[in-house]
Amino acid sequence: MPDIRIDLARQWLTLRDHGRVLLEAPVSTGAAGVGEQMGSFQTPRGLHRIRARIGAGAPVGAVFVGRRWTGEVYSPQLAAAHPGRDWILTRILWLCGCEPGRNRLGTVDTQRRYIYIHGTPDSTELGVPGSKGCVRMRNADLLRLYDLTPAGTPVDLTE
């Protein structure tokens, strides 16, 4: 099974399968830094797994709210009509923590915090923190990642 490593300091994602690199891509994680507390808008650390894969068959740029496709497809016109909206696009890889007390259960539960790896508009700056806690990726990179990672894929978010 493949595994994902997200280097929070470098803002970089690496997908490997048996040590062979399948994908490397810049990301953007929490603007508020790293941390596990509910409501912190920080990106959680530690071992996780992909709990659910959402959006198969949706078009590139599909807009998701509450893990459901709204029927909208991102465009500059849509962005202008909704300034400040936190765009979750194309696909969602919903993460679940694997370490009770650190990123699972109670007030540190990654899944209950709705932390995803998801697509973002092409205009979003990657390589620097900027999200509300999720891991943002270019849509093209996310599509490749989505196709290569089944539910259950390990994800390690490290500093």
In three-state secondary structure terms, 117 is strand
For 3, half-sphere exposure in the C-beta direction (CA atoms, 13 angstrom radius) is 10
pLDDT tens per residue, range 63-81: 999 999 999 999 999 999 9
Cα torsion through 30, 112, 65, 74, rounded to 10: 30
pLDDT at 84: 87
Q: Which fold has domain 3-158?
A: L,D-transpeptidase catalytic domain-like (2.40.440)
Asked whether the whole model's pTM tops 0.85, one would answer: yes
pLDDT tens per residue, range 127-139: 999 999 999 999 9
